[in-house]
Each structure stands twice: as structure tokens, then as C-alpha cells.
């Protein structure tokens, strides 16, 4: 076990690799961590529905949700690493996710397939709104790397919402 002086520990906690002002780091970290919590919540809900899918369109919906869950999970590391790159700290536990998530869990024993798709459609639309809000915060901070990433994630979430919407018609 290594020991650090309190000055070294403080320097490690306050280092800012990209040169953002402390207020910008706080604001960006806050919005990105809330976004990360929502992404984890949406990922787990999508996998939950994937695992518990049933009905006449089982195969199609099962595969659709698996593809969507994979896409959702793929951005978690990018979000967390972006927080670290700007000098912030990120989520540390499932409990931390639960405190920040805005997308509600679904612990129901049975959810009809159409209801699953409708709920995930609404959740992806909610995620789009959260992404847009994060984009505004990143834009105010002139964090072009984050705004660029978020623009791709918005497009992906809109596409997921569109597919889910079309599957329920």
C-alpha cells in the first residue's frame, strides 16, 4: 500500500487535464454522470425486456432489444472516460446510479411485449432530451469533444426510439 501526502492527493483530485474551469468541470461532470446513470438504467431495462420478451413476435423483438442494449452499453465507457478526461470523477457504484438515474426501473413480473416497446420508446425519447440538455452544458463550456460525441448518441437514441415506435404500430 502506498501512501501519498495530502498535497499529492489534493493535486490528483484537482488536476484538470483539459484546462476547463472548475465550474465547467463541475457542471459537465454533473450532467454527464446523470446521463451515465440514465444510460445504465436504460441498458438494464432493455436487457430485462429482452430476457423476458414473449409473444408472437418474440424472435424479432428479442433480437431488436439485444441490438439496442448492445448499442446503449457501448456508450457507457465513452461517457465515463469523458468525465475523467475533463478532470471530473464519475460513478462509483450501483447505488450512485440509483441516486442519479431519471429513467425509471421496471420490476414488474410480467409486461406485455407491446408495453415493453412503448416504455422503451418513451425512455429513449427521455434520453434524447437528457442528451440535448447535456449538449447545451457542453456547448457553454466550449467542450467540442463532448458535444461531438453527444450528437452521435442523440442520433442513435432517436433511431432506437423510431424503431420501437414503428414496431408498436
Q: What CATH number has the domain bearing residue 86?
A: 1.20.1260.10
Which residue, among 73, 104, 92, has the nearest Cα to 33 in the 3D structure? 92
pLDDT digits (tens, 9 = 90+) for 120-165: 999 999 999 999 999 999 999 999 999 999 999 999 999 999 999 9
Residue 85 resides in a domain: yes
> How far is residue 121 from each of residues 65, 67, 94, 143, measured CA to CA in Å?
11, 15, 24, 29
Q: What cell was used for 37?
A: 446513470
* pTM for the structure as a whole: 0.89
What is the number of domains present in the chain?
1
- pLDDT for residue 8: 47
In a domain, 64, yes or no: yes
Angle in degrees, 0-180, between the axes of helices 58-74 and 144-167, rounded to the nearest 10:
170
What distance lies between CA 148 and its chain's CA centroid? 15
Amino acid at each position: 500500500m502506498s501512501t501519498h501526502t495530502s498535497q499529492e492527493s489534493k493535486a490528483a483530485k484537482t488536476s484538470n487535464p483539459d484546462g476547463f474551469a472548475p465550474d465547467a468541470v463541475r457542471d459537465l461532470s454533473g450532467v454527464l454522470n446523470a446521463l451515465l446513470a440514465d444510460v445504465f438504467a436504460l441498458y438494464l431495462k432493455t436487457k430485462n425486456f429482452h430476457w423476458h420478451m414473449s409473444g408472437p413476435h418474440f424472435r424479432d423483438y428479442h433480437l431488436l432489444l439485444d441490438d439496442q442494449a448492445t448499442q446503449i452499453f457501448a456508450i457507457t465507457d465513452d461517457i465515463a472516460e469523458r468525465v475523467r478526461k475533463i478532470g471530473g470523477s464519475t460513478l462509483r457504484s450501483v447505488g450512485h446510479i440509483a441516486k442519479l438515474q431519471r429513467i425509471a426501473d421496471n420490476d414488474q413480473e410480467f409486461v406485455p411485449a407491446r408495453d415493453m416497446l412503448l416504455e422503451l420508446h418513451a425512455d429513449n425519447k427521455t434520453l434524447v432530451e437528457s442528451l440535448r440538455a447535456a449538449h447545451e452544458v457542453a456547448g457553454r463550456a466550449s467542450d467540442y469533444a463532448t458535444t461531438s460525441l453527444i450528437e452521435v448518441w442523440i442520433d442513435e437514441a432517436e433511431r432506437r426510439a423510431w424503431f420501437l415506435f414503428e414496431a408498436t404500430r
